[in-house]
Amino acid sequence: MKDAALREAQLKTLSVPNTAMAVTIDCAPPVKSDVHYTNKKPVGERLALAARALAYGEKIEYSGPIFQTAKFEADKAIVSFTHIGGGLVAKSDKLVGFTLSAGDGKWVRADAAIEGDHVVVHSNAVAKPVAVRYAFEGNPECNLYNKEDMPASPFRSDAFVTFATKDGE
C-alpha cells in the first residue's frame, strides 16, 4: 500500500496554487516491477497540457478526474469530481477499481456506474458505507477517465490509517 500512500501525497500537493500532476496509473505494465516504467510519452504529453493551461492560459482540460466529494445515501456512495471535461467514461464495459467500507477497517470491492457527472458506488456486502476508495492499492486495476482520455487520480474519501493489504504492500 506504500504506492497508494505515495500517490495520495502527490495528489495533496495540488493544494498549492498553479500546480498540476500527470496521472500515469495507466502507463505501468500489468506486473509492476519499477515505479519508473519505460512508457514516458504520455507523461510528457500530460505535463505539456498542464503547462499550456496553467502557464500559458489556454482554455483546455489538462487533467483527468480528481476526487471532490463523496456523499453517502443509504447503501451507496455518490462521488463527485473536478476535471471531468466533456464527461466521465469507463475504458471498458464495466467500471472497476472502487471499494467501500462501513468504517470497520474492511474494504470490499464494489460495483460502480457513471451517472451523469458522478460515479455511484454500491456493494451488497456494505449495508451503510461511510468511505469510498478508487485505485487505492499497489498495482490497481482501474479504468475511469474523462472524455479527453485523461485517467482519474486514485483517491480515498476516508482518513482511516489502514494500509495493510493481503499482498503485504
Q: Where are the beta strands (DSSP E) in 6-154?
A: 66-73, 76-82, 88-90, 98-101, 108-109, 111-115, 118-122, 131-134, 144-146
pLDDT at 28: 72
pLDDT at 160: 60
pLDDT at 75: 95
- Alpha carbons 32 and 36: distance in angstroms, whole number: 10
One DSSP character per residue, 15-53 reads GSTT------TTTS-SS---SS-S--HHHHHHHHHHHHH
pLDDT at 165: 44
What are the residue ranges spanned by the domains of the chain?
2-156
pTM: 0.86
pLDDT at 149: 96
pLDDT at 41: 92
pLDDT at 168: 40
Give the cell for residue 19: 500546480
pLDDT at 169: 40
pLDDT at 6: 67
Residues of the chain with pLDDT under 50: 162-169
